[in-house]
Amino acid sequence: MRSLAIAATGMMAQQTNVEVTSNNLANMTTTGFKRRRAEFQDLIYQNLRRVGSTSSDTGTILPSGAQLGLGVRTAAIYRIAEQGNLQQTENRFDLAIRGNGYFQVQLPSGDISYTRDGTFSLSPEGTIVTAEGYIVQPGITVPANARDVTINASGQVLVTLDGQVAQQNVGQIQLAIFPNEGGLEATGENMYLATSASGQPQAAAPGQPGYGQLLQGFIETSNVNTVQEITNLITAQRAYEMNSRVIVASDEMLSAVAKLR
């Protein structure tokens, strides 16, 4: 009985749906997190009577045929790159991107990773780093005698030194954009790696055409919509229950057949 296998694929699909939703809810307060959405596709069909085939010697054609579906499978889990809310932190090294772009971060392996999490601070050497201590590219160092630091919307890091009135530019933060943001590989710690699907990164100063601007003293919150996720969770739960009922009904039908004399 095909319905057993078909309903089983439906239960597995809804289990994936619940897992994606639970991950979204778990990260509803994660800085720079982008919610995910599971997408599904129907499986291959069995042709009991192929549509368009002849049905008689006179050349009549079947107008619809008979195709039996074999269930559902997970096609992709998309990342929704919608802008999150901006939350003020009063930390002068916290940065939020308003618009497109990712911060570039050098990992201990030497690879470049990308993030929307602008929770930055200074290393013991005065270099701007992430919460994990990874250097934000291009490796900007703030002098120890700086009494004020300003990072403008264009990514320029301006410091005011003791005994000086004019601000001094000590570096330029750049943002990276990708032809396909959905192709980035999430590696945890709010980091992404470029892949062949994302395309090569294109770096430029914030505020350039196609690039967002920076806001100092702000962070970007998660773009998870709690009400929408709870609704999705209830829908997935009900769909899971309905598929389980199909299995129960199919089992009862098989039991009835087994009891025939």
Whole-angstrom distance, CA of residue 192 vs CA of residue 154? 23
Whether 159 and 167 have beta carbons less than 8 Å apart is answered as: yes
Domain ranges of the chain: 2-81+235-258, 86-220
pLDDT in tens, 97-135: 999 999 999 999 999 999 999 999 999 999 999 999 999
**Residues 191-249: pLDDT tens digits?**
999 999 999 999 999 999 999 999 999 999 999 999 999 999 999 999 999 999 999 99
Considering the entire predicted model, what is its pTM?
A: 0.85
Q: How many CB atoms lie within 10 A of CB 195?
A: 12
Q: Quick one: which of 160, 119, 156 has its CA closest to 138?
A: 156
